[in-house]
Amino acid sequence: MSSTRIVVSLASGEVSDAVVHALPGEVSWLRVCAAAGDDPDPIALRRAFDGDLVYALDPIAATLDSATPAVLAIDELADHERAAEPGVDGRRGRIRKAAPGSSLTRRGARLREAARSYDLVELDAELDLVPETLAAVAPEKRLIAWRGAAADTAELRRRFDEMAATPARYYRLVVHADRAREALAPLELLRDLGRDDVIAFASGAAGTWSRLLSPLLGSPFVYGRANWERGRNSRERSQTSQAVTAQKEVRAASGPRGAEPDDFLAADRLVADYGFPEIGRVERVFGIVGDPVLHSLSPRLHNAAYRALGASCFYVPFHAASFAEFWEDMDAGGALRALGFELGGLTAASPHKEAVLSFASEISPAAQRAGAANVFIPDGDGGWKATTTDASGTLELLRDHGVEPRGGPAAVFGCGGSGRAIAVALQDAGWEVVLVNRGAARAALARTLLHLPFVPQAEFQANGHAIVVNATPVGTGASAGSLPFDVGGLRRDAVVVDLPYGNRTTPLVSSARRRGLLAIDGRQMLLAQVPQQFELMTGTPMPEGLPEGVLTAIDLPGVAAEPAIEVTATGLTSEAASGLAAAAPGAGGAGQPAGPQNEAGVADRRRTRTAAGA
User: Looking at the structure, do residues 364 and 420 belong to the same domain, yes or no?
Assistant: no
| Structural domain includes residue 310 | yes
User: What CATH number does residue 306 fall under?
Assistant: 3.40.50.10860
Is 282 in contact with 290 (CB distance < 8 Å)?
no
Q: What is the DSSP code string of 49-97? A: --SEEEEEE-TTGGGGG-SS-----GGGS-HHHHHHSTTB-TTT--B--
Proportion of the chain above pLDDT 90, given as a percent: 62
Residue 492 reports pLDDT greater than 80: yes
Judge whether 97 counts as a catalytic residue: no
User: Looking at the structure, do residues 210 and 65 belong to the same domain, yes or no?
Assistant: yes
Is 394 in contact with 433 (CB distance < 8 Å)?
no
| Structural domain includes residue 529 | no
For 59, residues 6+ apart whose C-beta sits below 8 A from its C-beta are 72, 124, 127, 147, 257, 258
Give the end of a domain, one of 272, 289, 318: 272
User: Looking at the structure, do residues 149 and 64 belong to the same domain, yes or no?
Assistant: yes
**Cα–Cα distance between 290 and 349 in angstroms, integer?**
5
| Structural domain includes residue 613 | no
Across 240-252, average pLDDT? 45
Coil, strand, or helix at residue 314? strand
Domain of 116, in residue numbers: 2-272
pLDDT at 324: 98
| Structural domain includes residue 301 | yes
Between 107 and 338, residue with greater pLDDT:
338
| Structural domain includes residue 395 | no
Q: What is the DSSP code string of 137-187? A: S-GGGEEEEEEES---HHHHHHHHHHHHTS--SEEEEEEE-SSHHHHHHHH
Across 496-501, average pLDDT? 92
| Structural domain includes residue 611 | no
Lowest-pLDDT range of 44-48, 163-167, 253-257, 432-436: 253-257
Residue 79 reports pLDDT greater than 90: no
Residue 22 CB neighbours (<10 A): 17
User: Looking at the structure, do residues 446 and 413 belong to the same domain, yes or no?
Assistant: yes
User: Looking at the structure, do residues 544 and 503 belong to the same domain, yes or no?
Assistant: no
pLDDT digits (tens, 9 = 90+) for 302-329: 999 999 999 999 999 999 999 999 999 9
User: Looking at the structure, do residues 196 and 59 belong to the same domain, yes or no?
Assistant: yes
Hey, what amino acid is at 4?
T
Between 127 and 102, residue with greater pLDDT:
127
Catalytic residue among 141, 248, 353, 385: 353
Average per-residue pLDDT for the chain: 81
Q: Give the chain's domain count.
A: 3
User: Looking at the structure, do residues 442 and 566 belong to the same domain, yes or no?
Assistant: no
Give the end of a domain, one of 247, 272, 297: 272
Which pLDDT band, with edges at 50, 70 and 90, does 501 fall under?
confident
User: Looking at the structure, do residues 469 and 544 belong to the same domain, yes or no?
Assistant: no
| Structural domain includes residue 614 | no
Lowest-pLDDT range of 90-99, 139-148, 410-419: 90-99
User: What CATH number does residue 482 fall under?
Assistant: 3.40.50.720
- Nearest Cα neighbor of 244 from 9, 565, 13, 588 is 13
- Phi/psi of residue 444, nearest 5 degrees: -65, -40
Give the global pTM: 0.82
Residue 121 reports pLDDT greater than 50: yes
Residue 253 CB neighbours (<10 A): 11
pLDDT at 103: 67
Which pLDDT band, with edges at 50, 70 and 90, does 349 fall under?
very high
User: Looking at the structure, do residues 146 and 238 belong to the same domain, yes or no?
Assistant: yes
Lowest-pLDDT range of 345-354, 375-384, 500-509, 576-585: 576-585
Is 546 in contact with 574 (CB distance < 8 Å)?
no
User: Looking at the structure, do residues 496 and 541 belong to the same domain, yes or no?
Assistant: no
Coil, strand, or helix at residue 401? coil
**Cα–Cα distance between 177 and 154 in angstroms, integer?**
16
Which pLDDT band, with edges at 50, 70 and 90, does 102 fall under?
low
User: Looking at the structure, do residues 432 and 409 belong to the same domain, yes or no?
Assistant: yes
Give the end of a domain, one of 272, 306, 335: 272
Proportion of the chain above pLDDT 70, given as a percent: 76
User: Looking at the structure, do residues 471 and 580 belong to the same domain, yes or no?
Assistant: no
Residue 444 sits at the vertex; the CA angle it makes with 438 and 448, to the nearest 5 degrees, is 145
Across 162-174, average pLDDT? 98
pLDDT at 14: 80
Hey, what amino acid is at 224?
G
Is 296 in contact with 476 (CB distance < 8 Å)?
no
pLDDT at 73: 37
Hey, what amino acid is at 411?
A
Across 196-217, average pLDDT? 97
| Structural domain includes residue 94 | yes
- Nearest Cα neighbor of 302 from 65, 123, 62, 546 is 546
Residue 247 reports pLDDT greater than 50: no
